[in-house]
Structures are given as structure tokens and as C-alpha cells.
Amino acid sequence: MLTCLAGPDRASLPLHAATQAGLEALLARLPPGAAGFLRASGFAARAQEVALLPGEAGLAGAVLGLGEAVPTPWSFGGLPHALPAGSTWHLAEPGEWAEPAVLGWCLGAYRYTRLKPAAREAALLVPPPGTERAQQAAAAAWRGRDLVNTPANLLGPAELAAAVQDLAAAQGATCTVIEGAALAEGFPALAAVGQASPRAPRVAILEWDAPGAPPDAPLVALCGKGVCFDTGGLDLKPSAGMLRMKKDMGGAAVVLGVAEMVMRARLPVRLLVLVGAVENAVSGNAFRPMDVLRTRAGLTVEVGNTDAEGRLVLADLLAFAAERRPALLLDCATLTGAARVALGPDLPALFTGDERLAEALLAAGRTAEDPLWRLPLHRGYDSWLDSNLADLNNVGSKPMAGAIIGALFLRRFVPEGLAWAHLDLYAWNDANRPGRPEGGEVQAMRAIAGAIEGLFGGAQSPTR
């Protein structure tokens, strides 16, 4: 799938990399002609600076500037489209930068090409040995980005559930898809969200046990919001608010990417992955403001706003997962605009009352250059969810703290004592940046996978 990589037998050119502090040492290692060319051209090893080295037969190599900071995947993310189209390269001095270089290269090379060819051919990289985990992370990111980028007319609930089935088949897992009467009975709030669409809602359940894992191996449960398109329902979004709503299944894409990374790494856990695949549409049988919905957990919810549908989807998924008493329960969703107002597009909001889990996720995010930012589960706002008709409302009574209110709503469906975290993410890059092309993004995927490995997978460090 990673079409930006080439095999070891392919002829390739050397790619050097240097920080500003290490530039003189690199110049001393290069042939005199190449070093002289770099000096004469004013190459200063600034971040993202690329210099092509001439040779007798044409191109002899290239040098990437890394700036002053410690190299990250983003240091290398611009190379596939900065180097000559179709050219092939190898890392001249891979060393400690090998994994972030391969990961960044692959993430930067990605383009969504299902409907239109890429504008230019990416340069290819011959990955050095020992970077297989970075390649696996990139492959999972490519698949997740493809899901988020696919137009909603091509990716509805059935297609999203099929993507779960495909992942299960590829990794030796099992997948069950629940729909129809069984869905209405077992996931009633989720079914209500999707009942207005001609594309019927469903829940896809992937289960996997690590090879050789004992029956009591830790169970990791991942729940993903898979709203394939969100009109807002009867509380209709304005037209501008719908423009990116194909990405409202970004939480599902993230948990599928995490699951792929966990399964390919053969981490010693059992996995339970739940994807609630629905479309929040408008029709005569759409659920309405002030309806009261039953949930799997037995709580009743008054609908204060039909555009707060993602938490209704997740409520039933969380209740199902909690019945299995997992060692870790985590949900991912493009849940609130309030999280973006607070943290901007790059920082998923992390909510958890478990200090050990919070630190595991935050530390893994720092290591993987996939950052999270913790916001408070402030229980003082719990009363804002009170309802005169039902056990709770799906929106707060005050126009503040929207991301916290969403997290507090979800907490009602998680029994005390379970290690649970909620991630409210954007799932989109607003503009092209090195390693992060404009479009769908599987934010927090590598952070979550790294945290699972750190908590349950032994001493091996997470992939950068």
C-alpha cells in the first residue's frame, strides 16, 4: 500500500541530513566537490531546506536541513514532494533518525488518489532495516486518511462497516455487524440517530486475541464515532457547517488505525473495537428535539439538540464495551466544536479521571509527535445535563464548556472503576504542511497505540 517506498535492490541516491550544529561535521564527511558546492550555494541546514548535489552523471545526492531542534517525522515530511518526481533515495546516515525519517516520509507522501491521480509523482525511499514499525504506522495512517477523505456518497454506514470487516479479515480477527431489529434493541440511541437516513445504521464489532495470549489477557476496548455524514438532523447545520461533515466518522478511522497497529505489532492483549456507523439525516421519521430516547445502559436521554448526536452513538457503544469489564476503555470522536475553539485543530482534547492512563497517553503522544492536551472532567458542571423529563439531557443548559459537557455526558455511561478516556479530535488538516497534507487525519492514533503498548505490551518503546 505504501507506494512511496522502494525495495532494497532498486538503485537509489544518498540523502544526507544535518542539523545546523552538525553541518560542519557533514561537510567534512562529504566529497570535497559536494562540500564546496554546499558552501558556495549558502546552504545553512535550516529546517526543511533541501539542496541537490550535482554529479558527473547528473544528480549525485541531496542534503536535508534539520534546523536547530531534535528531528521529528515532520522534519522529513516534505521530502517526497520536494525531491525530483519519481527519483529514489536512501538515507546515507540513518542512525537514530531512521524511524522518524521513514514515518515522516511516508506520511508526507500520502495523497488521496481514489478519484483523481496525484498532481505529481512522489519521490521514493528505500527504507533501512529496523523501520518496520514506522512503516506499519504509516500504512495504518494511509488507510485511516483514505476513510476520512472519501466522500460521504461513497462511504456510508454499510461501507464503513465493510472497512471494519476488511481489517478483521486481513489481521485474523472476527467481525460481527449488527443492524435492523437487533440494532434497535441493543443500541437504541444509536439507532434513533440513524433512523432518518435511507442508509441504515449499524454497529461493527471487531474482536481479536493476540496469538498465544491467555484468556485473561488484558482486554482493550476502543469505541469510534462513525457518523458518515452529519446534517445536524432537524437542528440543521448551516451550509458552511456541513462542508466537512464527511469527516464526522474520523473517530472510527482513528480506532481502526489503532487496532491495526496493535494487531500488526502482536501486542499481548485482547481487542474489542466498536464502530457506530450511522448517518444523521433529515426526513419525516428523524428523531426530534425534546424526544426522550432509551439507551443500552437503561438511562433515558432527552434530546436537547439533534446535532449533538455523536454522544448518543457513543453512549450505547460505551455501555456495550463496559459490560465486558475491559482493562482499558477508550473512545474517539469528532465530538464538539468547543474543543477546537479551546485547543485549535492540532490538539485532540483528552478527558479522563484516571491519572495513570492520562500520563500514559500524554507521554506516548509526546514520544510519537502525536500530541494530546488534557482538559478537566469538572464534575461541578454535571448538573448542567439535568432534564425534567429524563435521566439527563444530551446538551448542557448553559452555552459554555461544550467539550467538558460532552465528556461528562459520556462518563454517565462508564461504570465507576473502569479506566476510561475520551478523545475529542478534529480529524483534519486545514492546510498542507510537511507530513500532514490537507485533508483527513488520524489524530492521536500513534499516541493511543503507544500508550497501549506502554501499559500492556512490555518494555518495547512506541513507534515515533
Q: What is the pLDDT of residues 209-227, one digit of tens each?
A: 999 999 999 999 999 999 9
Provide the number of structural domains found in the chain.
Answer: 2
Would 52 be classed as within a structural domain?
yes
Cα distance between residue 230 and residue 299, in whole Å: 24
Catalytic residue among 145, 225, 311, 446: 311
CB 236 within 8 A of CB 282: yes
Q: What is the pLDDT of residues 344-398, one digit of tens each?
A: 999 999 999 999 999 999 999 999 999 999 999 999 999 999 999 999 999 999 9
330: nearest Cα among 218, 166, 230, 209 = 218
Check residue 77 and report its DSSP letter.
Answer: T
- All cell numbers assigned to 110: 500520502
User: Do 313 and 435 fall into the same domain?
Assistant: yes
Would 6 be classed as within a structural domain?
no
User: Do 104 and 144 fall into the same domain?
Assistant: no
Cα distance between residue 82 and residue 431, in whole Å: 17
Q: For residue 266, give its domain range.
A: 137-456
Please give the biggest Cα pair distance in the chain.
81
What confidence score (pLDDT) does residue 457 get? Answer: 83
User: Do 224 and 298 fall into the same domain?
Assistant: yes
Rounded to 5°, the CA angle 131-137-142 comes to: 125
For cell 458518515, name the residue: 228
CB 76 within 8 A of CB 64: yes
- All cell numbers assigned to 234: 432537524
Catalytic residue among 237, 294, 374, 433: 237
Would 394 be classed as within a structural domain?
yes
Q: What is the pLDDT of residues 166-209, one digit of tens each?
A: 999 999 999 999 999 999 999 999 999 999 999 999 999 999 99
CATH number at residue 79: 3.40.220.10
User: Do 182 and 262 fall into the same domain?
Assistant: yes
Residue 157, pLDDT > 60, answer yes
Domain boundary among 66, 95, 128: 128
Would 463 be classed as within a structural domain?
no
Would 111 be classed as within a structural domain?
yes
Active site residue 311: yes
Cα distance between residue 107 and residue 119, in whole Å: 17
